[in-house]
Structure 1
Amino acid sequence: MLATLLSILLQAAEGGAGLIAIGAGLGAGLAAIGAGLGIGKIGGSAMEGIARQPEAAGRIQTAMLIIAALIEAVALFAAVICLLISFNIGA
């Protein structure tokens, strides 16, 4: 399994364009992982805050949704930039 993955990476790296594609793919994957971790942290912290102060649930949920939307926007921009980089390989 590892040898197969390594041989695929080496074949892709033979040309300079392969390294660009690998970098763009890794960048998009890291952006998605970072967004998932960030939103998970926000959700957990919001639930903890609501458990401690149930009367502030509305304000906490509103802030949580705004911050989650901002994180998703940054992840989307990162994925679009990675796609643009991978599409400009031949140009």
Structure 2
Amino acid sequence: EAFLAREAEMCYAVMAHVTDYDVWHTSESPVTVEMVIEILKRNTRTAQEAVRKLARSPKPARDCECESALASALITDPARVPPETKAKLRLLVGKYLK
């Protein structure tokens, strides 16, 4: 996903949530399926709230290279790209096909 996000000039971050670690942690008691499911539900609520907050947040200024990752990737002369192809690709590379 990180490579695809970069190709789409999108910033990318991972939000990972742990459910249990008893498999490798020798000093902890084993967990039950019910415990894992409860933690998974809690993690789901946390992730949903994070996405809601992100959606309501103002768009941050971008000062990273992601914004122009495709600038040197397209070598076809934009004049040679058919209008229907430009229309299909507009969302991702429209700024480079003018």
TM bucket, shorter chain: 0.3 to 0.5
| TM-score normalized by the length of structure 1 | 0.36
**RCO greater where, 1 or 2, for CA within 8 Å and sep 6 or more?**
1
Higher CA-based Rg: 2
More helix by share: 1
